[in-house]
Structure 1
Amino acid sequence: MGDSFSKKENRNKKAKAKEDKAQRMKERKANNNKGKSLEDMLAYVDENGNLSAVPPKETRIEIDSKDIQIGATPRPPEDTTRTGIVTFFNTSKGFGFITDDKSKESIFFHVNELSEPVKEKDKVSFMRERGARGYNAIAVRKADPGAKTP
Protein backbone atom coordinates (compact mmCIF):
# COMPACT_ATOMS: atom_id res chain seq x y z
CA MET A 1 0.00 0.00 0.00
CA GLY A 2 1.29 3.41 -0.94
CA ASP A 3 1.00 6.76 0.67
CA SER A 4 -2.03 8.82 0.01
CA PHE A 5 -1.85 11.87 -2.20
CA SER A 6 -1.95 14.35 0.71
CA LYS A 7 0.92 12.60 2.53
CA LYS A 8 3.08 12.77 -0.62
CA GLU A 9 2.15 16.42 -1.04
CA ASN A 10 3.09 17.23 2.59
CA ARG A 11 6.41 15.38 2.24
CA ASN A 12 7.19 17.31 -0.96
CA LYS A 13 6.32 20.63 0.76
CA LYS A 14 8.62 19.84 3.69
CA ALA A 15 11.46 18.89 1.34
CA LYS A 16 10.96 22.10 -0.68
CA ALA A 17 10.94 24.19 2.54
CA LYS A 18 14.15 22.49 3.66
CA GLU A 19 15.82 23.23 0.33
CA ASP A 20 14.70 26.87 0.45
CA LYS A 21 16.06 27.22 3.96
CA ALA A 22 19.42 25.71 2.93
CA GLN A 23 19.54 28.07 -0.08
CA ARG A 24 18.87 31.14 2.13
CA MET A 25 21.59 30.01 4.55
CA LYS A 26 24.09 29.72 1.67
CA GLU A 27 23.17 33.23 0.48
CA ARG A 28 23.66 34.65 3.97
CA LYS A 29 27.07 33.01 4.23
CA ALA A 30 28.06 34.37 0.82
CA ASN A 31 26.94 37.91 1.62
CA ASN A 32 28.27 37.85 5.18
CA ASN A 33 28.84 41.32 6.65
CA LYS A 34 31.17 40.02 9.30
CA GLY A 35 34.77 40.95 8.96
CA LYS A 36 34.14 44.64 8.31
CA SER A 37 36.85 46.85 9.68
CA LEU A 38 36.19 48.97 12.71
CA GLU A 39 36.45 52.13 10.60
CA ASP A 40 33.59 50.90 8.37
CA MET A 41 31.33 50.38 11.38
CA LEU A 42 31.95 53.74 13.11
CA ALA A 43 29.58 56.68 12.94
CA TYR A 44 30.45 60.20 14.06
CA VAL A 45 28.31 62.96 15.48
CA ASP A 46 29.04 66.54 14.43
CA GLU A 47 28.50 69.67 16.56
CA ASN A 48 24.88 69.90 15.33
CA GLY A 49 24.05 66.34 16.40
CA ASN A 50 24.00 64.89 12.86
CA LEU A 51 25.50 61.46 12.10
CA SER A 52 28.20 61.16 9.47
CA ALA A 53 30.77 58.61 8.30
CA VAL A 54 33.52 61.26 8.25
CA PRO A 55 35.21 62.19 11.54
CA PRO A 56 34.68 65.85 12.49
CA LYS A 57 37.50 68.36 12.43
CA GLU A 58 39.22 68.39 15.79
CA THR A 59 38.70 71.66 17.61
CA ARG A 60 39.77 72.03 21.21
CA ILE A 61 38.63 74.71 23.57
CA GLU A 62 40.72 75.35 26.66
CA ILE A 63 38.62 75.82 29.80
CA ASP A 64 40.08 77.19 32.99
CA SER A 65 39.27 74.96 35.96
CA LYS A 66 38.35 78.04 38.00
CA ASP A 67 35.44 78.72 35.63
CA ILE A 68 33.78 75.37 36.39
CA GLN A 69 31.15 75.53 39.11
CA ILE A 70 30.19 72.34 40.85
CA GLY A 71 27.03 72.05 42.93
CA ALA A 72 24.17 74.38 43.64
CA THR A 73 24.59 78.10 43.88
CA PRO A 74 24.89 79.11 47.50
CA ARG A 75 22.00 81.03 49.00
CA PRO A 76 22.69 84.22 50.88
CA PRO A 77 22.49 83.70 54.63
CA GLU A 78 19.03 84.17 56.04
CA ASP A 79 18.45 86.83 58.68
CA THR A 80 18.29 84.64 61.76
CA THR A 81 16.80 87.09 64.25
CA ARG A 82 13.11 87.73 63.66
CA THR A 83 10.46 89.81 65.36
CA GLY A 84 6.84 89.15 66.15
CA ILE A 85 3.98 89.55 68.55
CA VAL A 86 2.94 87.03 71.21
CA THR A 87 -0.61 86.08 70.17
CA PHE A 88 -1.20 83.36 72.75
CA PHE A 89 0.58 82.40 75.97
CA ASN A 90 -0.58 79.84 78.54
CA THR A 91 1.45 80.40 81.72
CA SER A 92 0.12 77.30 83.50
CA LYS A 93 1.12 74.94 80.65
CA GLY A 94 4.24 76.88 79.69
CA PHE A 95 3.84 77.41 75.94
CA GLY A 96 2.61 79.99 73.48
CA PHE A 97 2.59 81.21 69.90
CA ILE A 98 4.23 84.15 68.19
CA THR A 99 2.99 85.64 64.91
CA ASP A 100 6.07 86.33 62.81
CA ASP A 101 6.14 89.89 61.40
CA LYS A 102 7.86 88.78 58.19
CA SER A 103 5.99 85.59 57.22
CA LYS A 104 2.79 86.11 59.27
CA GLU A 105 2.95 82.46 60.33
CA SER A 106 2.27 81.27 63.86
CA ILE A 107 5.40 79.91 65.55
CA PHE A 108 5.37 77.78 68.70
CA PHE A 109 7.56 78.61 71.70
CA HIS A 110 8.11 76.99 75.10
CA VAL A 111 8.61 78.81 78.41
CA ASN A 112 12.14 77.30 78.65
CA GLU A 113 13.13 79.40 75.58
CA LEU A 114 12.15 82.69 77.27
CA SER A 115 14.94 84.89 78.56
CA GLU A 116 12.45 87.11 80.42
CA PRO A 117 8.73 86.85 81.22
CA VAL A 118 6.30 87.79 78.41
CA LYS A 119 2.57 88.20 78.09
CA GLU A 120 0.12 88.33 75.17
CA LYS A 121 0.54 91.25 72.73
CA ASP A 122 4.19 91.75 73.73
CA LYS A 123 6.62 92.58 70.91
CA VAL A 124 9.42 89.96 70.94
CA SER A 125 12.53 89.02 68.99
CA PHE A 126 13.48 85.38 68.46
CA MET A 127 15.30 82.90 66.26
CA ARG A 128 13.58 80.10 64.33
CA GLU A 129 14.50 76.45 64.56
CA ARG A 130 13.00 73.61 62.51
CA GLY A 131 11.16 71.20 64.81
CA ALA A 132 9.22 67.97 64.29
CA ARG A 133 5.93 69.83 63.70
CA GLY A 134 7.20 72.99 62.03
CA TYR A 135 9.19 75.96 63.26
CA ASN A 136 9.85 76.64 66.94
CA ALA A 137 10.95 79.96 68.38
CA ILE A 138 14.15 79.86 70.42
CA ALA A 139 15.99 82.57 72.39
CA VAL A 140 12.77 84.57 72.80
CA ARG A 141 13.17 87.98 74.43
CA LYS A 142 11.19 91.20 74.56
CA ALA A 143 12.01 93.52 71.69
CA ASP A 144 13.37 96.99 72.33
CA PRO A 145 10.50 99.50 72.43
CA GLY A 146 12.33 101.77 69.97
CA ALA A 147 13.05 98.96 67.47
CA LYS A 148 11.59 99.32 64.00
CA THR A 149 9.24 96.69 62.64
CA PRO A 150 9.97 95.49 59.09
Structure 2
Amino acid sequence: MIRSRETPSVVAAILDWPPTALMARLALVSAYLLGAVVKATDFPGAVAEQAHFGMSPPAFWAVLTIAVEIVGPLLILTRRWLWLGAGMLGAFTLLAAIKANAFWAMPTGHDRFMAMNAFVEHIGLIGGFALVALLDRRERAA
Protein backbone atom coordinates (compact mmCIF):
# COMPACT_ATOMS: atom_id res chain seq x y z
CA MET A 1 0.00 0.00 0.00
CA ILE A 2 1.36 3.41 -0.97
CA ARG A 3 1.12 5.77 1.99
CA SER A 4 2.86 8.73 0.45
CA ARG A 5 1.07 11.50 -1.37
CA GLU A 6 3.88 11.49 -3.89
CA THR A 7 3.32 9.96 -7.29
CA PRO A 8 5.13 6.61 -7.47
CA SER A 9 8.39 6.98 -9.39
CA VAL A 10 7.38 4.59 -12.18
CA VAL A 11 4.12 6.52 -12.72
CA ALA A 12 5.95 9.85 -12.59
CA ALA A 13 8.45 8.58 -15.17
CA ILE A 14 5.62 7.60 -17.54
CA LEU A 15 3.79 10.90 -17.04
CA ASP A 16 6.99 12.92 -17.49
CA TRP A 17 8.07 11.03 -20.62
CA PRO A 18 7.59 13.55 -23.46
CA PRO A 19 5.61 11.26 -25.83
CA THR A 20 3.03 10.44 -23.14
CA ALA A 21 1.07 13.66 -23.62
CA LEU A 22 0.91 13.22 -27.38
CA MET A 23 -0.14 9.58 -27.05
CA ALA A 24 -2.86 10.56 -24.56
CA ARG A 25 -4.19 13.23 -26.94
CA LEU A 26 -4.06 10.72 -29.81
CA ALA A 27 -6.01 8.18 -27.75
CA LEU A 28 -8.63 10.83 -26.96
CA VAL A 29 -9.19 11.77 -30.62
CA SER A 30 -8.56 8.41 -32.32
CA ALA A 31 -12.24 7.47 -32.72
CA TYR A 32 -12.92 10.80 -34.45
CA LEU A 33 -10.00 10.38 -36.86
CA LEU A 34 -11.10 6.84 -37.68
CA GLY A 35 -14.66 8.04 -38.12
CA ALA A 36 -13.52 10.72 -40.56
CA VAL A 37 -11.53 8.21 -42.62
CA VAL A 38 -14.43 5.74 -42.74
CA LYS A 39 -16.92 8.45 -43.70
CA ALA A 40 -14.60 9.99 -46.30
CA THR A 41 -13.93 6.61 -47.94
CA ASP A 42 -17.63 5.68 -47.90
CA PHE A 43 -19.32 9.00 -48.49
CA PRO A 44 -22.66 7.44 -49.54
CA GLY A 45 -22.64 5.59 -46.22
CA ALA A 46 -21.89 8.84 -44.37
CA VAL A 47 -24.82 10.52 -46.12
CA ALA A 48 -27.08 7.57 -45.29
CA GLU A 49 -26.02 7.80 -41.64
CA GLN A 50 -26.97 11.48 -41.51
CA ALA A 51 -30.31 10.72 -43.18
CA HIS A 52 -30.92 7.94 -40.63
CA PHE A 53 -30.60 10.50 -37.83
CA GLY A 54 -32.94 12.93 -39.58
CA MET A 55 -30.27 15.47 -40.54
CA SER A 56 -31.22 17.51 -43.58
CA PRO A 57 -29.69 17.95 -46.02
CA PRO A 58 -27.73 14.80 -45.21
CA ALA A 59 -24.82 15.45 -47.61
CA PHE A 60 -24.13 18.82 -45.96
CA TRP A 61 -24.11 17.24 -42.50
CA ALA A 62 -21.87 14.39 -43.70
CA VAL A 63 -19.30 16.90 -45.04
CA LEU A 64 -19.51 18.97 -41.85
CA THR A 65 -19.07 15.86 -39.69
CA ILE A 66 -16.01 14.76 -41.65
CA ALA A 67 -14.52 18.25 -41.37
CA VAL A 68 -15.07 18.41 -37.61
CA GLU A 69 -13.67 14.89 -37.18
CA ILE A 70 -10.49 15.91 -39.03
CA VAL A 71 -9.92 19.51 -37.93
CA GLY A 72 -10.76 19.03 -34.23
CA PRO A 73 -8.27 16.20 -33.69
CA LEU A 74 -5.54 17.97 -35.68
CA LEU A 75 -5.89 21.07 -33.50
CA ILE A 76 -5.66 18.92 -30.37
CA LEU A 77 -2.72 16.86 -31.62
CA THR A 78 -0.70 19.87 -32.77
CA ARG A 79 -1.69 21.97 -29.73
CA ARG A 80 -2.42 24.83 -32.12
CA TRP A 81 -5.69 26.34 -30.90
CA LEU A 82 -6.18 23.21 -28.82
CA TRP A 83 -9.04 24.90 -26.98
CA LEU A 84 -10.89 25.29 -30.30
CA GLY A 85 -10.39 21.65 -31.28
CA ALA A 86 -11.55 20.51 -27.85
CA GLY A 87 -14.56 22.79 -28.05
CA MET A 88 -15.43 21.60 -31.54
CA LEU A 89 -15.27 17.94 -30.58
CA GLY A 90 -17.00 18.54 -27.25
CA ALA A 91 -19.95 20.33 -28.88
CA PHE A 92 -20.08 17.76 -31.70
CA THR A 93 -20.04 14.91 -29.20
CA LEU A 94 -22.82 16.44 -27.11
CA LEU A 95 -25.04 17.03 -30.13
CA ALA A 96 -24.36 13.54 -31.47
CA ALA A 97 -25.07 11.97 -28.08
CA ILE A 98 -28.39 13.78 -27.81
CA LYS A 99 -29.39 12.87 -31.36
CA ALA A 100 -28.18 9.25 -31.40
CA ASN A 101 -28.62 8.19 -27.78
CA ALA A 102 -31.89 9.77 -26.63
CA PHE A 103 -32.44 7.12 -23.96
CA TRP A 104 -34.99 9.31 -22.18
CA ALA A 105 -37.36 8.87 -25.13
CA MET A 106 -37.05 5.07 -25.17
CA PRO A 107 -39.14 2.49 -23.35
CA THR A 108 -37.50 0.72 -20.42
CA GLY A 109 -35.39 -2.23 -21.47
CA HIS A 110 -32.07 -3.31 -22.91
CA ASP A 111 -32.00 -0.78 -25.76
CA ARG A 112 -32.64 2.08 -23.34
CA PHE A 113 -29.90 0.81 -21.03
CA MET A 114 -27.42 0.59 -23.91
CA ALA A 115 -28.34 4.08 -25.16
CA MET A 116 -27.96 5.49 -21.64
CA ASN A 117 -24.52 3.90 -21.32
CA ALA A 118 -23.45 5.31 -24.69
CA PHE A 119 -24.78 8.75 -23.72
CA VAL A 120 -22.85 8.75 -20.44
CA GLU A 121 -19.68 7.56 -22.20
CA HIS A 122 -20.01 10.53 -24.56
CA ILE A 123 -20.34 12.85 -21.56
CA GLY A 124 -17.07 11.33 -20.30
CA LEU A 125 -15.40 12.19 -23.61
CA ILE A 126 -16.63 15.76 -23.27
CA GLY A 127 -14.98 15.85 -19.85
CA GLY A 128 -11.77 14.59 -21.45
CA PHE A 129 -11.87 17.43 -23.99
CA ALA A 130 -12.40 19.96 -21.20
CA LEU A 131 -9.48 18.49 -19.24
CA VAL A 132 -7.09 18.48 -22.19
CA ALA A 133 -7.92 22.15 -22.87
CA LEU A 134 -7.56 23.01 -19.18
CA LEU A 135 -4.21 21.26 -18.84
CA ASP A 136 -2.91 22.86 -22.03
CA ARG A 137 -3.95 26.31 -20.78
CA ARG A 138 -2.27 25.75 -17.41
CA GLU A 139 0.92 24.46 -19.03
CA ARG A 140 1.12 27.45 -21.35
CA ALA A 141 0.49 29.85 -18.45
CA ALA A 142 3.22 28.30 -16.28
Same fold (TM > 0.5): no
Question: Which has more radius of gyration?
Answer: 1
Query: TM tier, shorter chain?
Result: under 0.3
Give the structure with the larger strand fraction.
1
Give the alignment's TM-score, normalised by structure 1: 0.19
Which structure is higher in RCO with an 8 Å CA cutoff and minimum separation 6?
2
